[in-house]
Structure 1
């Protein structure tokens, strides 16, 4: 598969530390907006989250990581520790966040020992120093053996300017031209219910384990943006938290995870909706697709874990019949059968995403559109209402990406829904627009 991660000569700064010391708060402070989920509950950040930061002449990627526990037995703690180590290996500079109020913990000491062995440049950020009166609390952190501690308050902003200046001093200026000349990216939101294989898909595409994957539903809490090139196209994959029915959404962290997922849908170009072949098409799968339709995004539907039903012909037949039955009104959505685990069909998803992205940008020439309309209404007139004959005089495509069509009529308010659906179906048969929701508007003929 011709996909590879985009390599840039931009340094990476990684935030590390034990749980609940304020890493995500610092991440949000440094990038200037609330991206990572912040909560008093330990272990909220599970995946590595990345953003681009510009400060003076410096430009760097900032990476937020999960709370680090060197000897954790919990499945999440083990996976988080592995991902933190991977992030550290990729880092040009480390920000080791500690808590001024609790002092040096045993975990802090172990992390410091690990960081000293790695010999990467490291700044000790003593968080929760809300003012000069707490500066004396920083002195004990010299014992970590990682240089002079930098007092900060991630939540209040104290010392952040000094920290950025130090980061800039270590990294030096960065050429910004590659970013400016970067081609326009196609944003792809990876959506689906919990544990349908979204993060496995992302890791498979990238060719390395970049997003946390376990068998426990709800592993991904934040949305994660990952860049790659595929067949000459610049893609940004947005891995998201699993979307559940509103009645099952818990308060706090899960609520914000779902909110971020909705935001990811709003800013994507194409929504890739994954489902579980063992369960077939569920009502929640359809609800996720409908959200993408309402947002007017391109849509690709992939039935994942097909390897688990590959030799069960009866199950396959049941799934296909279920799709045919439940996709009424969604026939334009392309359906693929894939296995992220075995990599079967993964390239088909990316190929289809590229096709759908192009379909969203398609523009029909006015002459072709109106020839189509004239031929259609000559054979199938809109139904009369209250004895009034409905005429469709002409049409224009008002916009693309997503496509909007405006039809002019003598009685636009009386063009019935069933005729609008018929009109859309015929237009799709003539011009395509696979995977692309359309908007039809009917206006009074001038």
Structure 2
């Protein structure tokens, strides 16, 4: 048999194991969008659905400005709840941006909940929202909120006029009726959820992230040759993500300027809290993140935290050292030492030295982004990967533990964006050896600019039942 035939036969033998490993993982889950006009109790209802106080609630309209997603479970089924800002027709300025985010949630959700204040009754805004939802093809549940006891239930009957079917009387604050609502949501959820992730085609999405005041907005303005974002010496000027289509090096890119990520998001409140949540959402919606560091200052714990957030989100990564015009010879020397010491774990990420203020090297940023995206989408064939793995093991076998060493029986790359591998073994591998495999993968295949995931699956011996 030829080598190709051998690897093909081996791949066929392990295919059931690959399928089983992938089946154990959580795929996309259904999405429930909670929408409605400002201050009707959407975030309170979200907290009730997810079973914890996570969405920020204040007794004033407009606290929630963007789509914020939360994981939830009911009756053993997992789904995602999206809290949105208040929706208003013909909104202007910031209110228009908030309404736009709510409309995106409505388009991408599998089930939509329209929340109405039953005590106030149906307003013109509620009627406009109902008309939009009637034209859509998504299942809609009408929630009559603030029905705190049975005596108030007649208030909900007036909402039949919205044309969305029977209103569900609920008290999001006290939990009354929330169980029945969740049961109905389960009935409307599809078995296969709609794909709500980044869509193929169109300009590649790039998130500009970093701690406050590293020059993200200045870079966006420099690239766009326009004042797209407000720039100020005061840290934290940017609150909402600023989206722009920008031409760099002959290609159109979708850039998103984000708020500076704080050191401890859990301790932030109000605007800072939501800015951090929106920045995380921008990272997850992007394909590649450009993390800006202030080259004139020491690499901080905040910088490391931002980089970790990008890596954990599985996005391609480019590191841009900004304010290079402020770096003298002494600072350059110490910066190189800091990079060697602090940035070793992301040595695979492309580096570029820029100055958003003067425009130094910003046009070259597109080249590094392309490199990172290529690594993010790189794939190694099963035959080539296993031939490489056999040579690697022969040159550097796994250390012997307890009188024997586990063997890597088969390796396969199961996904890209980011690259993901499964190693089927005869036993558990040392974490240090897995890190060695990853390092050698990068040395021999590249994967520049992309995190790599390696999963180890110890294969049960044929004919022996699994241990309880």
TM-score range, shorter chain: 0.5 to 0.7
How big is each residue's C-alpha offset from its partner over 1:109-135, in whole Å with a ceiling of 9 and x where there is no partner?
A: xxxxxxxxxxxxxxxxxxxxx99x99x
Aligned residues: 303
Q: How much does 1:194 deviate?
A: 0.7
1:186, 1:235 within 8 Å by CA — same for their partners in 2? yes
Residue in 2 that maps onto 1:111: none
1:241, 1:257 within 8 Å by CA — same for their partners in 2? yes
1:183, 1:234 within 8 Å by CA — same for their partners in 2? no
2:205, 2:286 within 8 Å by CA — same for their partners in 1? yes
1:45, 1:66 within 8 Å by CA — same for their partners in 2? no
Q: Which runs of 5+ in 2 are unaligned?
A: 1-36, 43-55, 66-89, 98-116, 134-198, 461-468
How big is each residue's C-alpha offset from its partner over 1:160-193, in whole Å with a ceiling of 9 and x where there is no partner?
A: 68999xxxxxxxxxxxxxxxx9933321111101
Distance verdict in 2 for CA 1:333–1:445, change over 3 Å: same
Q: How much does 1:38 deviate?
A: 11
Q: How much does 1:247 deviate?
A: 6.2
Distance verdict in 2 for CA 1:162–1:225, change over 3 Å: same
Residue in 2 that maps onto 1:7: none
Q: How much does 1:233 deviate?
A: 4.2
Out of 357, 360, 364, the residue aligned to residue 380 of structure 2 is: 364
Distance verdict in 2 for CA 1:357–1:161, change over 3 Å: same
Deviates more, 1:37-46 or 1:290-299: 37-46
1:39, 1:253 within 8 Å by CA — same for their partners in 2? no
CA RMSD of aligned residues (A): 3.7
Bigger RCO (CA 8 Å, 6+ sep)? 1
Residue in 2 that maps onto 1:11: none
Secondary structure in 2 matching 1:187:
strand
Residue in 1 that maps onto 2:30: none
Q: Which runs of 5+ in 1 are unaligned?
A: 1-23, 30-36, 47-61, 68-83, 88-129, 135-151, 165-180
1:186, 1:357 within 8 Å by CA — same for their partners in 2? no
Alignment of 1:213-224 (within 5 A): 213-224=231-242
Distance in 2 (CA, whole Å) between partners of 1:161 and 1:249 is 37
Residue in 2 that maps onto 1:110: none
Distance verdict in 2 for CA 1:330–1:195, change over 3 Å: same
Out of 190, 203, 206, the residue aligned to residue 208 of structure 2 is: 190
Residue 269 in 1 paired to residue 287 in 2?
yes
2:375, 2:450 within 8 Å by CA — same for their partners in 1? yes
Distance verdict in 2 for CA 1:246–1:330, change over 3 Å: same
Q: How much does 1:351 deviate?
A: 1.4
TM-score (norm 1): 0.60
Residue 300 in 1 paired to residue 315 in 2?
no
Out of 404, 414, 423, the residue aligned to residue 398 of structure 1 is: 414
Secondary structure in 2 matching 1:355:
helix
Out of 358, 367, 373, the residue aligned to residue 342 of structure 1 is: 358
